Amino acid sequence: MGSSFEDLEVWKKSCRLSVRLYKLLRNCRGYGMKDQMLRSSISIPSNIAEGSERKSIPDFQRFINIAQGSAGELRTQIYISRKVNIFSDLDAEELIQELKSISKMLQSLHSSLKKL
């Protein structure tokens, strides 16, 4: 836990995903869904950062779990958004794959903290 959250690849990747989502949703008129998806996406790197800054392994693990929950929530929202044509099939699939990758990275981070 010696390094900063800014050094974590999963934090960087989840920030990039949030930026991409903001750009994709720039002209979205489904304001409720747009707001919820942006909140979910921002929650992922924010919880990684907050947990890391707590300087407690159990706290960090708890915040990683919250980030994973937000990733699952966002995936669900993307599946629904695809069905109502907020996202193209291609954009939705890329976002879903990115979120699955982030979830795996979060699980690995959580597991690595158990060994400390």
Max CA distance (Å), the chain: 46
Q: Find out whether 82 and 89 touch, Cβ atoms under 8 Å.
A: yes
- Mind listing the pLDDT tens digit for each residue in 68-88? 999 999 999 999 999 999 999
- Mind listing the pLDDT tens digit for each residue in 44-60? 999 999 999 998 999 99
Q: Supply the pLDDT for residue 2.
A: 60
What burial letters (b/e) apply to 60-78, b meaning 16+ CB within 10 Å?
bbbbbebbbbbbebbbebb
CATH number at residue 39: 1.20.1440.60
The percentage of the chain sitting over the pLDDT mark of 70, rounded to a whole number, equals 98
**Domain hosting residue 16, numbered range:** 5-114
Query: What count of residues does the chain have?
Result: 116
Per-residue pLDDT, averaged over 91-104, amounts to: 98
Q: Number of structural domains, the chain?
A: 1
- 68, 106, 87, 27: CA torsion to nearest 10: 80
Helix (H, G, I), strand (E, B) or coil at 35: helix
The tokens for 9 are 């690849």
